[in-house]
Amino acid sequence: MTTNAQTDVGFHAKQHGRWHWSEFAFWIVVLAVGLAFPSRYLIMTEILRLALFAMSLDLILGYAGIVSLGHAAFFGVGAYCAGLLSVHGIINEPVLALIVGGLAAMVLGFATSFLVIRGVDLTRLMVTLGIALLMEALAERFSNITGGTDGLQGIDIQPIFGVFAFDMFGRTGFFYSLAVLFVLFLLARTIVHSPFGLSLRAIKNNPLRAAAVGIPVNKRLIAIYTVAAFYAGIAGALFTQTTALASLDVFSFERSADLVLMLVIGGSGYLYGGLIGAAVFRMLQELFQWITPQYWMFWIGLVLVVIVLVGRHRIHAYALWLPNLILKQIAGRKAAVALTDNEAP
Amino acid sequence: MTAILTNLFDGVAYGMLLFVLACGLAVTLGLMNFVNLAHGAFAMAGGYVCAVLVNRMGWPFFAALPLAFVASAVIGAALERTLYQHLYARSHLDQVLFSIGLVFMSVAAVDYVMGSSRIFIKLPDVLQGQFDIFGVGVGRYRLMIIAICGLLTVGLQLVLSRTRFGSRLRAAVDDPRAASGLGINVPQVFAFTFAFGCGLAGLGGALSAEILGLDPYFPLKFMIYFLIVVTVGGSSSITGPFLASLLLGIGDVAGKYYVPKLGPFVIYTIMIVILIWRPNGLFGRTATR
């Protein structure tokens, strides 16, 4: 029995980080869609940006179980940081500015993580929300630096590596965003499949038990919160670089709330959830705005209410029904099971 | 000196207003442990009912106030029976998502029905102007708010701590199974309490239109203030939120007057510091969940 169980554990550890063929297919499809609709670069870039942002929240909510209503704080810091670096011509290399934006958000994430690990869910909600509002208030008050309600003026992003200039069709922006998203996805994938990532899941499932088996709960939560802040900062900097905009609404509550919605649509606790959720959310938004330009918020709200009432897991079970059926036909039962295994419990 | 006193008075009035708006949430979030971010939507409903009755149909202000309470309570009861009751046992995240959804829907719906411009309620002459007490300008309307709030606080505290209903509610919250075993109709108690909380929000919305302004984005704009009052105040009694409202009201008015550069910064900092110091609020008990 013992040997059997041990080999079983070893088998799972090896299996855990291995690429499933459907993942290759996913990224090939993303690239193919990008190449197929050159007239839609702008909205596709937006989806990639949102996907990165959603992945960031997934790291803390889906993997570590930290509820946050203020993730826009880090997004905004990254956005303003990249914008300011460009306006004042401090760092002209976009990739470098991107990383600095992410690091700035990371510093804030590390500083505020100590507040977030205290207390229950409700306290966390309030403290994260409060931090985002604080940042918004600061950005508004120090208008001589941030431009106040008008936003930053004169953001001009230089060509990437001095070669690829940002064009008006958003072509460069799209491939730049895709590259950034893919690199950070690989990093996130490594993190969540590492022993560190597995210990996070243990903490999410039962913090008390995790502490009892010797996992340093608070240290792990601080670490992942800091990493997630870095990701959100990169998403914000990417926003500024691809749109040449940075204004107060990067900190808005709606931005944080929409983000939670994306994650709920796509499913939290597996990395593709955020990516898929961001795409579905943005397309839904586009659809609703097309139907009722002024009142689309109503329909977004209705979607949220229905999702919660029907139950998030049941929705995903429905959504996975067709892919599962197809996979069963192509690759037999194993692949289908693998797809559902990735889903959040 | 008079400037300080005037500020203090305005701060107290503002705090009382926040208390009227938030004490319903203190009951639903604090006692029933339901994170209802849509609380402001019920307040907005009350405000608009009052505005329509007074401005369009020519009702007297004092007759419209109770109706604002009743209208919000009825909406609250209907939603509680159909939707909210399924979510009591769910996680806080589900409750947050659900109530944010409701907020989004209410914002768009009110925008559709009432238009997006900010409206004010025509006050009767009795409430306009101010008394002059030792050089301190005391607005009549603000004085009335303080009076109403004082009565509400005492009334609520008495209902919760002294009456049979209060003890049933506390029992139902602490242990629903044991409570229903003792013959308490738990769903009914919850529905009534929720509706009452929504009614209070509606009353607050009607009273606040004059000072805070009423527009479709009301629930989003003031959501954070209600939440601060309840989380900072804690949930074991009505005194906690009451003191938190006072602290918040005075702090906000004084902050805007003396350090306008920092604005809401002061309030958010106070909240974060207090929550770190006492995660369950100033007067909170240990969280059950």
| B87, B106, B261 member nearest A141 (Cβ) | B261
Query: Any chain A CB within 8 A of the CB of B90?
Result: yes
Contact B97 A134 (CB under 8 A): no
Chain A nearest-CA residue for B36: A122
pLDDT surpassing 60 at residue B257: yes
Does any domain span residue A319? Answer: no
Query: Any chain A CB within 8 A of the CB of B265?
Result: yes
Q: Which residues does residue B133 pair with via DSSP β-bridges, in sequence order?
A: B136
> What is the pLDDT, as a whole number, of residue B249?
87
Contact A69 B96 (CB under 8 A): yes
> What is the pLDDT, as a whole number, of residue A242?
86
Task: For residue A27, give its domain range.
Answer: 11-252
> What is the pLDDT, as a whole number, of residue A20?
80
8 Å CB contact between A236 and A250: yes
8 Å CB contact between B34 and B214: no
Query: How high is the mean pLDDT of chain A?
Result: 82
Q: How confident is the model at residue A333 (pLDDT cuts 50, 70, 90)?
A: low
Q: How confident is the model at residue B285 (pLDDT cuts 50, 70, 90)?
A: low
How many Å from the N-terminal Cα to the C-terminal Cα in chain A? Answer: 27
What does DSSP assign to residue A157? P
Q: What is the largest CA-CA distance in chain A?
A: 69
Chain B nearest-CA residue for A304: B101
> What is the pLDDT, as a whole number, of residue A7?
43
Please give, rounded to a whole number of angstroms, the shortest distance from the CA of A134 to a CA of chain B: 6
> What is the pLDDT, as a whole number, of residue A11?
45
8 Å CB contact between B40 and B222: yes
* B206-231 tens-digit pLDDT: 988 888 888 888 888 888 888 888 88
Percentage with pLDDT > 70 across chain A: 88
> ∠ at Cα B80 (B150, B158), nearest 5°?
25
Mean pLDDT to the nearest integer, B61-66: 87
B239 Cβ neighbours under 8 A, 6+ residues apart: B157, B283
Instruction: Name which of A235, A291, A20 is nearest A109 in CA terms.
Output: A235
How does DSSP assign B217-253, residue by residue? THHHHHHHHHHHHHHHH-SSSSHHHHHHHHHHHHHHH
Chain B nearest-CA residue for A114: B276
* B84-134 tens-digit pLDDT: 888 888 888 888 889 989 999 999 998 888 888 888 888 877 777 777 777
Give B-chain residues touching A134 at CB under 8 angstroms.
265, 268-269, 272
Give A-chain residues touching B289 at CB under 8 angstroms.
120-121
Query: Any chain A CB within 8 A of the CB of B264?
Result: yes
Q: How confident is the model at residue A345 (pLDDT cuts 50, 70, 90)?
A: very low
Instruction: Name which of A250, A240, A230 is nearest A184 in CA terms.
Output: A230
Chain A nearest-CA residue for B275: A123
* B15-44 tens-digit pLDDT: 888 888 888 888 788 777 788 888 999 999
Contact B94 A141 (CB under 8 A): no
Instruction: Name which of A301, A343, A327, A247 is nearest A22 in CA terms.
Output: A327
Does any domain span residue A313? Answer: no
Pick from A88-92, A113-117, A193-197 the range whose average pLDDT is largest: A193-197
> What is the pLDDT, as a whole number, of residue A106?
94
Q: Is B214 helix (H, G, I), strand (E, B) or coil?
A: strand
What total of structural domains would you count in chain A?
1
Does any domain span residue A260? Answer: no
pLDDT surpassing 90 at residue A31: no
> What is the pLDDT, as a whole number, of residue B41?
92
| A253, A302, A312 member nearest B220 (Cβ) | A253
Chain B nearest-CA residue for A123: B279
pLDDT surpassing 90 at residue A229: yes
* A151-170 tens-digit pLDDT: 777 777 777 777 777 777 77
Does any domain span residue A241? Answer: yes
Q: What is the largest CA-CA distance in chain B?
A: 60
> What is the pLDDT, as a whole number, of residue A344?
43
Percentage with pLDDT > 70 across chain B: 94
Mean pLDDT to the nearest integer, B129-147: 78
Contacts by residues A186-192 (CB-CB < 8 Å, ≥ 24 positions apart): A188/A55, A188/A59, A188/A231, A188/A271, A189/A17, A189/A271, A190/A17, A191/A59, A191/A227, A192/A59, A192/A63, A192/A271
The pTM of the full predicted model, rounded to 2 decimals, is 0.83
Tokens 């998502």 correspond to what residue? B97
Does any domain span residue A321? Answer: no
Give A-chain residues touching B35 at CB under 8 angstroms.
122, 125
pLDDT surpassing 70 at residue A44: yes
Mean pLDDT to the nearest integer, A298-303: 88
Does any domain span residue A294? Answer: no
> What is the pLDDT, as a whole number, of residue B46?
92
* A176-228 tens-digit pLDDT: 899 999 999 999 999 988 889 888 988 888 888 888 888 888 899 999 999 99
